[in-house]
Amino acid sequence: MARRRAKKVQPVDKGRSGARNAARVTGDAVKNRPGPHWPVLALSLAGGVLTAYLSFSSWFGTALVYCEEGSGCDVVQHSAWGTFLGVPTAFWGFLGYVFLAGIAYKVRQPEKRWKWLWTFSLIGLAVSAYLTVISFTVLQTACSYCLASLTLMGTIFLTVSLQRPKTMPQTIWSAWAGQRVVLAALIIGGLQLHYSGVFSASKGSEDPFLKALAVHLTGSKAVFYGAFW
């Protein structure tokens, strides 16, 4: 009986095989990696352009388009709420929109990106809503540019909220969201204390509407004529 020749088995290079598998997995991950969040990116860029324009106007004293002297926008821009820490309030909004745009474009891990977008759009919406309430109740006027920014930030927040990852259980989501709401409330409380004069004796001691009116009259070179008997 003829002997069967033993089949020669080629040794398997486990290192090379593992490297190929790792490269294949990495390639699939890159291929399936989500792209930028285009809706939020577009809305954030629009908000950035708007707030950059408002900041430029405030810094260089140029008149806003469709915003005559003494109008709601002019009163808001020159009120105590028109600046924060010596910088135009609009510029802080510009930084917020730029940060949101950066997250929407750069961060690609879905759950991480969603958490960051939701948190910062919530804070941005809370600040915009606070300033809008101040303009209506304290300054007793309305600013169309401020309302436009509020609409953009609200749309960003709504867009992100409707896309909550399904991987976040309801219990975890509720506790996590509650913490962010408390953070936003603390920020608004800090702003209110700042503008009410708690941190600065020079703040809160004057009527904000009269101050804005005085700035407007000074800028328009108004002359007072009176007589005394």
Give DSSP secondary structure letters for 139-200.
Answer: S----HHHHHHHHHHHHHHHHHHTT--TTS-HHHHHHHHHHHHHHHHHHHHHHHHHHTTSS-
76 phi, psi to nearest 5 deg = -65, -45
Task: Report the pLDDT value the prediction gives residue 192, as an integer from 0 to 100.
Answer: 95
Q: How many CB atoms lie within 10 A of CB 72?
A: 20
Which residues is 83 bridged to in the sheet? 88
127 bridge partner residues: none
For residue 170, what are its two tokens?
């309801």
Nearest to 159 by CA among 41, 36, 39: 39
* Inter-residue contact 139 to 208 (CB < 8 Å): yes
Superfamily of domain 40-216: VKOR domain (1.20.1440.130)
Say which residue the tokens 């961060």 belong to. Answer: 107
Euclidean distance between CA atoms 79 and 89, whole angstroms: 11
* Tokens 């913490």 sit on residue: 179
Write down the pLDDT at residue 2: 46
Residues paired with residue 87 on neighbouring β-strands, in sequence order: 84
> Of 209, 70, 69, 216, whose CA–CA distance to 138 is shortest?
209
Buried-exposed string 117-128: b where 16+ CB fall within 10 A, e elsewhere: bbbbbbbbbbbb
| Residues 159/124, Cβ–Cβ less than 8 Å | no
138/216 Cα distance (integer angstroms): 17
pLDDT per 10-residue tile (average), the chain, 229 residues: 51 53 43 80 98 96 87 91 95 98 95 96 98 96 96 98 84 88 97 88 52 54 45
Q: What is the pTM of this model?
A: 0.76
Q: CA 200 to CA 211: how far, in whole Å?
A: 17
* Per-domain boundaries in the chain: 40-216
Q: What's the pLDDT score for residue 67? A: 87
Ramachandran area for residue 68 (φ above 0: left; ψ -120 to 50: alpha; else beta)? beta
